[in-house]
């Protein structure tokens, strides 16, 4: 048991982002082209998702698309700077629930699967996005 836990701890540490080059995740997502495809896939999935479609009815989709691309590029270590509103500001008054949040996560995962992003890179991107949840839900 102790040996197993030690091995688990070593494996966990080897997953630290600090041991990899800074744009590793961006490259694993497929670079700029990959990120664009993922966001396009995400928007397609949202458009077909009854659970959250209404949340986006009044959104400027072109602007949303470019800001999402920018944000995922920046957060994954790509050569971009996010220029959009804060997460708090862009979600204030939208009453996004825990379930809405997860629905979007599912739509994003499906978009990444369609783009054949490796599972490890999918999880790293989700790990980068997860801390934003309190800035998004129940506002």
Partner 1 sequence: MKAWVRGIGKAIGLLIAATTDFALAEGSATQGRLLATGGGSQIEGTAGGGIVPLAVLSGYGDVGQQGATAFVSRVQVDDYRLDVFGAAWSWNNRVEVSVARQELYLNTLATALGVPDDTIAQNIFGAKVRLYGDLIYSAWPQLSAGVQYKVNEDFYIPAAAGARDDRDWDAYLAATKLFLGGALGHNVWLNGVARATRANQGGLVGFGGDNNSDREIVYEGSIGVFLNRHWAAGIEYRQKPDNLSFAPEGDWRDVFVAWFPNKQWSLIGAWVDLGDIATLEDQRGWYVSVQGSF
Residues interacting with partner 1, by CB under 8 A?
Answer: 1, 4-5, 8, 11-12, 14-15, 50-51, 97-100, 102-103, 105-106, 109, 118-121, 123-124, 126-127, 130, 133
CB of 86 to partner 1, least distance (A): 19
Structure tokens at 79: 């050569």
CB of 123 to partner 1, least distance (A): 4
Nearest CA among 110, 28, 137 for reference residue 75: 28
Runs of H (alpha helix) within 48-118: 61-75, 87-91, 98-114
Nearer to partner 1, 79 or 118 (CB): 118
CB of 60 to partner 1, least distance (A): 27
Nearest CA among 74, 70, 67, 72 for reference residue 89: 67
């Amino acid at each position: 048991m102790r040996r197993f836990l030690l091995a688990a701890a070593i494996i966990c540490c080897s997953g630290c982002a600090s041991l990899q080059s800074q744009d590793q995740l961006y490259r694993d997502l497929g670079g700029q082209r990959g990120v664009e495809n993922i966001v396009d896939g995400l928007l397609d999935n949202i458009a077909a998702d009854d659970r959250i479609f209404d949340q986006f009815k009044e959104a400027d989709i072109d602007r949303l698309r470019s800001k999402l691309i920018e944000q995922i590029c920046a957060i994954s270590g790509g050569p971009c700077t996010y220029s959009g509103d804060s997460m708090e500001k862009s979600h204030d008054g939208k009453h996004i629930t825990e379930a809405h949040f997860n629905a979007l996560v599912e739509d994003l995962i499906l978009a990444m699967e369609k783009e054949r992003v490796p599972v490890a890179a999918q999880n790293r991107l989700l790990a980068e996005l997860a801390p934003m949840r309190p800035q998004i839900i129940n506002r």
